[in-house]
Amino acid sequence: MAILDKLEHCAATNYQICTDPQSDRNSFDRPLGSPALLRTVTWNPGLQTVIELGCGDDPTGPVLRDATASLLHELTHAAQDCDGLEPSEYEFEAVRIENIYRRAAGMCQRNGYGDARLPRQMIKLCSPGKCSCTAPADPTDRAMAEVHPVTQSRPLADAVSAGDARPVHGLPPR
Ligand SMILES: [Zn+2]
């Protein structure tokens, strides 16, 4: 809802969604120009190809493209664009938002973008029919607990998390 609200009220530019049943990918395109030119989400609602393997506890379970999840992913890029961000640098965030929908709809979650795995703090454990929605175990916390059982450091853990939250650079739009 926050994504849709942002796009509806975006003052920076306008967005259109074009369905294309022939397209082999969904995409968000933002032509350069001043004033800002119309942005286009190209969406193939029928695209159900395999994104990756690994669904919950099943390492070979296919994660399939889904019409709504794909559209939400591209709309997240549009919202990033509205905020003045470079969408291709925030693929993990788009996958994180896409996974919110995937969990709610009882689908397999995406594990990452391309060959890059989602940072741990962006992961909620959930597979179809079995959704704890908890964060995976933090190896840093465990190590800290073993070394400093009383003075486990939140600030350090947060600093590590912030460091891991860097955007993905150099990946092609998907
Ligand atoms: Zn993307």
pLDDT digits (tens, 9 = 90+) for 133-157: 898 888 776 655 555 554 444 444 3
Give the pLDDT score at 150.
47
Q: From ligand 1's centre to the CA of 19, what distance in Å?
A: 17
Q: Is the pLDDT of residue 121 over 80?
A: yes
Q: From ligand 1's centre to the CA of 107, what distance in Å?
A: 18
Q: From ligand 1's centre to the CA of 141, what distance in Å?
A: 31
Please list all protein residues whose beta carbon sits less than 5 angstroms from ligand 1, which is an ion: 91, 94
Token pair in block for residue 18: 């074009």
Give per-residue pLDDT as tens, 29-52.
Answer: 999 887 788 999 999 999 999 999
What percent of the chain has pLDDT above 90?
Answer: 66
Q: From ligand 1's centre to the CA of 144, what distance in Å?
A: 35
Give the pLDDT score at 63.
97
Q: From ligand 1's centre to the CA of 160, what distance in Å?
A: 25
Q: Is the pLDDT of residue 108 over 80?
A: yes
Round the average pLDDT of the chain to a whole number and report it: 85
Q: From ligand 1's centre to the CA of 135, what distance in Å?
A: 23
Q: From ligand 1's centre to the CA of 40, what distance in Å?
A: 13
72 CB contacts (<8 Å, ≥6 apart)?
3, 97, 98, 101
| Per-domain boundaries in the chain | 2-164
Its pTM stands at: 0.78
6 or 171: which leads in pLDDT: 6
